[in-house]
Structure formats: structure tokens, C-alpha cells
């Protein structure tokens, strides 16, 4: 029996065309709407600004305040699920709609998170690592002095509620700053203040964590965030830190989100300390600026993941589908027409660049100084490619923290040697890797004198982001083979010539590996070739390295052909006399 393809049963229709209501109409809601449409989910947003960024992309906007109970009830009346793109909503009113529709994440979660102090108490009570904090109970000067007696200066004075983009924070460097700091927070002070001990972080990290209706949690790779004037400026994905710390950041973030009810995506801001400790800074119960890169760089964007989570669909893969990504926020430079043109020019400069650069313009009415109006995301197989694309964006992006000499890339090649006496042989490898712009580490690991260090190194190298190992050894030369027996990574052995046997002993030791444990071997003392082979292995995933390899080969050819010409011109006798 044939059925008409145009008829879809009511139950199927309801699965496909459910409506999601979003409190807030900013850029996060706008990008949520884009993702929702691809999944066949209808979107209605509630925001006081007519034609809001999200309203432009949604099926419908209700013009009204997301703090107003009646407006929230009106939104709830036509939605199957309610969610937020901003945490500063009226939670009581939201709770009142719980009988009419599913609210994700739960109002209880939003209530805890929207008060930073309550959020910290909640996390501290559940064993999540945080910096020290204390309520400023006396409200004014004395309360801050009490906190300073405990934490010392500088300390961070924070508004408990309504804080964003640094508005709601004041640094107190000494007793003299206290009155000004309290005054600067007067707008947000109604909800009360609290103090945080200064955290001497070396980096700021962030992890997006998604939680499904079934409580299942998945996390995105940890990113590094750079703030300027307390506003997120640049996000680097993945953070250029060891795999071990990436995993630690994910564990802290996942453990924190596991303490909350309800589904959705959460942004978890973290501090990394010099000793590798990861502390949680704050949580957002919604998509987050540090997750914008996921649109182009991950299998499932944070926005699609949020829609999947709150609508009860299976979560998607959070893994990156590119090797590297950088996101840069575009902020308004002022409110005049000229400022608007300048700001748009910043974004539009990316339109003429290769497709690895994507622009997002939020469609805000006019621009205001310091306000987020768009962002640019660059992706590539390899972080140096992304840095090159950022440079190509022009002078406005030239001051990026990612282009500063202090910004170190995580090593992808590890050059190890049995003894510091091997260094003179390995200098050439270091020079080649530097020439090709390949981030590498160079260290001493001895199979005979530090066997435990060798075991630890070989077991963890791939988890730290290393892709190729170059191992140099002289004499009995067990290092390359033993490392290859433990690591799953490609190992290139460099036989080092010592005073007896001229390196033939190490060549035989390295090359005569038993079946099943491969070690690539280069000529005795030829670490240049080891580095070139490492570059070729990496170039399988990084076309820019392939391009550089072609140029290297062409320059070698030019060098030899130059010698041929010279020899022809001057003859062998003068050529030799000239010391060539
Ligand atoms: P916002 O809501 O504006 O994101 P945060 O509490 O995250 O507020 O603070 C903004 C920035 O201020 C952080 O990204 C970090 O750079 C800095 N900061 C916040 N708390 C501390 C602290 N306790 N110690 C040092 N720096 C801090
Ligand atoms: Mg923050």
C-alpha cells in the first residue's frame, strides 16, 4: 500500500517542528537560531529591543523584557521548551512557566549561576577547585578591609549579580582604592559585593561543556582566552598547552557542570597557575564567547549542541575537525557613522581572504564603543597557518596576542638525546625545525641512565600533543628503539658518531629493530635529514609545510645548479683554488 509522501502524521510533525523560546535576543540567540533552523526547530525570542540580533534570525520575536513575568508567560504559551542566552533573567517568572513547558537548563541552575557568590559557594561545597573568596558582609569599606586582611592586596572586588565583560569587577590594589572601587560598582551593587583573592594565573582557559537531558556530559577542547579591558579579545583553540593540562581543565569543567541540573551548553572559565593547577573562575549557563570558534572548527557547534541538549536530541561530537583555530572579537570603536564604517571594514577585510577565514556580523543597530558587534574565526590544519592568515587580515589584527613573540606554540616534535654531548649533532635538526616554523622541544632522555624518565616520556608524548619524535643516541643506542617500543608515534633515530667505531655501532643498534617496532633511521650524524623527515610526516596534515618543503627542495636545486654554472665559468682548477 502506498502512502502519500506529502502527509506527515501529527506525532511526527510535533517532533520535527517543536518551538524553542529563548530569553534574550543578542548574538548568542542569533547563532542559536541559525543552528535551530538546520534541525527543524522553530525559534521565538524575547527581547526588549525590536529587531534584535536574534530577532532578525528567529521565526518570531516578542518585544518585551526577559525580566518581566507577563512577557515570559506569553513566550512560554507558544513554546515547547524555554532556554536562555543570558543568565540575568527573572528566575521566579521562569519557574512559574515550568508547568507549561520544559525549561533548560533548570531555573534552579540559572538562579545559582546568576549570583556569582552563590555560584562559588555551590561549587566550593562540592569540592571544585576555586580561588579563595569571601562575602563583603559589612557592605562598605570595612567589609573590603576585612577581606584584604585575609587575602592581602591586590584583591578583586566583584558584584554578585548582573556582571559581564568586566562590568561588575574592580581591582583594589591598596586601602586607598577601596572607596573608588565600591563607587565604580554602585550600579551593580544592589545585589551585594564579594571579594576574591588575586589569582596569579599564567593563562586563562575555557571549556564548553554540554549536558544532555539524560545527564550525559561532553566537553569541547580547552581553549586559551585573552581579555583586553576585561573583555574577551581572542580565543585560541586548542589551548597551546600540554595534553595533560588540557585533560585537567576538561576534568574540572565536567565535574563542575555535573553538579547542576538541566540540559544545555555551559561555558566554564578557568585559571591556569604556574604549577599546573587549574582553578575555576566562573560559569555561564549558555553558549559562551569562548565557544564561537566551534561553528567552523568542531563537528558540532556549541549552538547546535545547545539546541540538541535542550530539545532532548542526542549530543553531537565536540571534537575539532581542524588542527587549529583562532577567534577574534570585533568591538565597536564609537557610535558615529564613521565608527560604524571602520568597524565593518575590520570585519569585511576578511571577506577577500581564503575560505579559512569566516566573518560573523551580529546585525546590531549601530555600534557602540567597546560593544561586541561581530567576530572573525580563522581555521587551519596547523597553528602557524592560522597565525599567517591572521597576519594577512591586515594591520587591525596585527596587535593580536597570538602574533606576539611571547605566544609560544605547543611543541609537535620532540627532539631527545641520550646525553648533552649529542647536542652538537642535533643542532642541525633544531635549525631545520626553526626554519620550517615547526614548534619543537629539545631535551635529554637517557635509556640507560634515566630509564624511568624515558618510560614516562614515551608513554605520555602523544598525550602532550607531540606528533613525531627524533631520538639521537651514540654507542649502544637503545633510546630510539626503546622509545619506539612504548610510544605509538613515529620515531626517527639519529646515530651519533662517538670517538670509537665512528657511529657505526649506533647505526646498527638503531636500524636493527625487531619486526613490529619500526624506527626510521637516517645517516650517521645527519640530524638535518631527521628534521626534514619529521617535517614531511607533519606535512601530510599541513599543506603549508608541504609548500615549504617544495621551496626548500627548489632552493637546494638552485644552490647545486649555481655551483654547476660557476664550475663551468671558471674551470675546475680556479674553482678549487677559490676554496669551493
Ligand atoms: P566577567 O563576568 O566580566 O567575565 P570575571 O569574573 O570572569 O567577570 O572577570 C573578568 C576578568 O578579570 C577575568 O577574565 C580575569 O582576567 C580577571 N579576574 C577575575 N577574577 C580574578 C581574580 N580573582 N584574580 C585575578 N584576575 C581575575
Ligand atoms: Mg568571565
Does position 4 have pLDDT exceeding 70, yes or no? Answer: no
Ligand 1 atom 8 nearest Cα: 166
Cβ neighbours around 80 below 10 Å, total: 19
Q: Which residues contact 144 (CB under 8 A, 6 or more apart)?
A: 136, 155, 157, 172, 178, 181, 182, 193, 195
How confident is the model over 311-337, as a mean pLDDT? 92
pLDDT tens for 326-345 read 999 999 887 788 888 888 88
Residues ≥6 apart with Cβ < 8 Å to 325: 236, 237, 293, 296, 297, 377, 378, 379, 380, 386
The predicted structure's pLDDT at residue 189: 62
Distance 561 CA to ligand 1 centre (A): 60
Q: From the CA of 322, how far away is ligand 2's center (Å)?
A: 26
* Ligand 1 neighbourhood includes 114 CB (under 6 angstroms): no
Does the domain spanning 7-103 belong to CATH 3.30.499.10? no
Look over the chain and give the mean of its residue pLDDT values, rounded to a whole number.
92
Residue nearest to atom 15 of ligand 1 (CA): 230
Tell me the helices (H) and strands (E) count for the chain, helix number first: 20, 23
| Comma-separated ranges of CATH 3.30.470.20 domains in the chain | 116-128+201-397
163-171: long-range contacts (C-beta < 8 A, 24 or more apart)?
163/116, 163/188, 164/88, 165/230, 165/231, 165/232, 165/370, 165/372, 166/227, 166/229, 166/230, 166/231, 167/230, 169/230
pLDDT in tens, 49-73: 999 999 999 999 999 999 999 999 9
What pLDDT score was predicted for residue 397? 83
Q: What is the pLDDT of residue 139?
A: 59
Asked if the model's pLDDT at residue 287 lies above 60, the reply is yes
Give yes or no for residue 282 CB within 6 A of ligand 1.
Answer: yes
Burial zone of 342 (CB within 10 Å; 0-12 exposed, 13-18 middle, 19+ buried): middle
What distance in angstroms lies between residue 327's CA and the mean position of ligand 1's atoms? 20
Using one digit for the tens of pLDDT, what is the confidence trace for 89-109? 999 999 999 888 999 999 999
Mutate to test the pocket of ligand 1, among 169, 191, 204, 279 (most ligand atoms within 8 A of CB): 169
Tell which atom from ligand 1 comes closest to the C-alpha of 199: 24
State the average pLDDT over residues 532-559: 94
Question: Start-end ranges of CATH 3.40.50.20 in the chain?
Answer: 7-103
- Cα angle vertex 453, ends 452, 459, to 5°? 90
157 vs 134: CA distance, rounded Å: 10
Distance of CA 458 to the CA centre of its chain: 26
Atom nearest to 271 CA in ligand 1: 15
Question: Is the shortest distance between the CB of 361 and ligand 1 below 6 Å?
Answer: no
| pLDDT, mean of residues 4-23 | 67
pLDDT in tens, 145-195: 999 999 999 999 999 998 777 788 999 999 999 999 988 887 666 788 999
Per-residue pLDDT at 339: 80
SS3 per-residue string spanning 50-73: CCCHHHHHCCEEEECCCCCHHHHH
- Ligand 1, atom 13, lies closest to the CA of 230
Q: pLDDT tens across 375-394, in order?
A: 999 999 999 999 989 988 88
pLDDT 10s digits, 185-239 = 876 667 889 999 999 999 999 999 999 999 999 999 999 999 998 899 999 999 9
Percent of the chain scoring above 90 in pLDDT: 75
Residues of the chain within CATH 3.30.1490.20 domain(s) are: 132-198
Q: Positive or negative CA dihedral for 479, 481, 485, 491? A: positive
Domain 116-128+201-397 listed as CATH 3.20.20.10 = no
Q: Identify the DSSP state of 130.
A: B
pLDDT category at 75 given cuts 50, 70, 90 is: very high
7 pLDDT higher than 90: no
pLDDT above 70: percentage of residues in the chain: 96
Residue 8, pLDDT score:
53
Confidence of residue 15 (pLDDT cuts 50, 70, 90): low
**Residues 129-139: tens digit of each pLDDT:** 999 999 997 65
CATH class (in words) of the domain with range 132-198? alpha beta
Ligand 1 neighbourhood includes 269 CB (under 6 angstroms)? yes
CATH 3.40.50.1970: which residues of the chain?
413-539
Given a cut of 70, whether residue 483 has pLDDT beyond it is yes
Please state which CATH class domain 413-539 belongs to: alpha beta
The CB of 227 under 6 Å from ligand 1? The reply is yes
Kindly state the average pLDDT of the residues 341-351: 79
Ligand 1 atom index nearest CA of 269 = 7
Q: What is the pLDDT of residue 3?
A: 47
Amino acid at each position: 500500500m502506498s502512502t502519500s509522501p506529502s502527509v506527515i502524521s501529527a506525532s511526527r510533525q510535533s517532533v520535527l517542528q517543536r518551538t524553542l523560546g529563548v530569553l534574550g535576543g543578542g548574538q548568542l540567540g542569533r547563532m542559536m537560531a541559525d543552528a535551530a533552523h538546520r534541525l527543524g526547530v522553530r525559534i521565538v525570542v524575547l527581547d526588549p529591543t525590536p529587531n534584535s540580533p536574534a530577532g532578525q534570525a528567529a521565526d518570531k520575536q516578542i518585544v518585551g523584557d526577559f525580566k518581566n513575568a507577563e512577557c515570559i508567560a506569553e513566550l512560554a504559551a507558544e513554546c515547547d521548551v524555554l532556554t536562555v542566552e543570558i543568565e540575568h533573567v527573572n528566575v521566579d517568572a521562569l519557574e512559574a512557566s515550568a508547568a507549561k513547558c520544559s525549561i533548560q537548563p533548570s531555573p534552579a541552575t540559572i538562579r545559582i549561576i546568576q549570583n556569582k557568590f552563590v555560584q562559588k559557594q555551590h561549587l566550593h561545597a562540592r569540592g571544585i577547585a576555586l580561588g579563595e573568596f569571601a562575602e563583603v558582609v559589612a557592605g562598605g569599606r570595612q567589609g573590603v578591609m576585612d577581606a584584604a586582611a585575609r587575602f592581602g592586596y591586590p584583591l578583586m572586588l566583584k558584584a554578585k549579580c548582573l556582571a559581564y565583560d568586566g562590568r561588575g569587577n574592580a581591582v583594589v590594589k591598596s586601602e586607598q582604592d577601596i572607596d573608588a572601587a565600591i563607587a565604580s560598582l554602585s550600579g551593580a551593587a544592589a545585589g551585594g559585593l564579594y571579594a576574591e583573592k588575586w589569582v596569579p594565573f599564567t593563562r586563562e582557559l575555557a571549556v564548553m561543556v554540554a549536558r544532555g537531558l539524560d545527564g550525559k556530559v561532553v566537553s569541547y577542547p580547552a581553549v586559551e582566552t585573552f581579555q583586553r579591558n576585561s573583555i574577551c579579545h581572542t580565543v585560541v583553540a586548542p589551548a597551546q598547552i600540554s595534553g595533560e593540562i588540557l585533560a585537567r581543565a576538561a576534568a574540572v569543567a565536567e565535574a563542575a557542570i555535573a553538579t547542576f541540573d538541566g540540559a544545555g551548553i555551559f561555558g566554564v572559565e578557568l585559571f591556569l597557575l604556574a604549577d599546573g593547577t587549574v582553578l575555576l573562575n566562573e560559569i555561564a549557563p549558555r553558549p559562551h564567547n569562548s565557544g564561537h570558534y566551534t561553528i567552523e572548527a568542531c563537528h558540532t557547534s556549541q549552538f547546535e549542541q545547545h539546541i540538541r541538549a535542550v530539545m532532548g536530541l542526542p549530543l553531537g561530537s565536540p571534537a575539532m575537525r581542524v588542527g587549529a583555530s583562532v577567534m577574534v572579537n570585533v568591538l565597536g570603536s564609537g557610535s558615529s557613522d564613521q565608527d560604524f564604517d571602520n568597524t565593518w571594514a575590520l570585519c569585511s577585510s576578511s571577506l577577500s581572504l581564503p575560505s579559512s577565514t569566516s566573518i560573523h556580523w551580529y546585525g546590531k543597530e549601530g555600534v557602540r564603543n567597546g560593544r561586541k558587534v561581530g567576530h572573525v574565526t580563522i581555521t587551519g590544519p596547523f597553528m602557524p597557518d592560522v597565525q599567517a592568515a591572521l597576519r594577512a587580515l591586515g594591520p587591525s589584527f596585527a596587535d593580536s596576542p597570538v602574533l606576539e613573540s611571547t605566544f609560544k606554540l605547543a611543541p609537535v616534535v620532540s627532539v631527545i638525546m641520550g646525553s648533552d654531548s649529542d647536542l652538537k649533532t642535533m643542532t642541525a635538526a633544531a635549525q631545520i625545525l626553526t626554519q620550517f616554523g615547526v614548534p619543537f622541544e629539545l631535551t635529554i632522555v637517557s635509556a640507560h641512565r634515566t630509564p624511568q624518565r624515558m618510560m614516562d616520556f614515551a608513554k605520555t608524548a602523544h598525550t602532550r600533543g607531540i606528533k613525531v619524535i627524533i631520538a639521537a643516541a651514540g654507542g649502544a643506542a637503545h633510546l630510539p628503539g626503546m622509545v619506539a617500543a612504548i610510544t605509538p608515534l613515529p620515531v626517527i633515530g639519529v646515530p651519533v658518531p662517538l670517538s670509537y667505531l665512528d657511529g657505526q655501532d649506533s647505526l646498527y643498534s638503531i636500524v636493527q629493530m625487531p619486526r613490529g617496532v619500526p624506527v626510521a633511521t637516517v645517516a650517521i650524524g645527519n640530524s638535518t635529514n631527521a628534521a626534514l623527515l619529521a617535517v614531511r610526516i607533519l606535512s601530510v596534515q599541513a599543506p603549508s609545510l608541504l609548500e615549504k618543503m617544495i621551496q626548500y627542495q627548489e632552493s637546494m636545486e638552485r644552490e647545486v645548479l649555481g655551483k654547476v654554472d660557476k664550475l663551468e665559468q671558471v674551470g675546475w682548477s680556479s674553482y678549487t683554488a677559490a676554496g669551493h
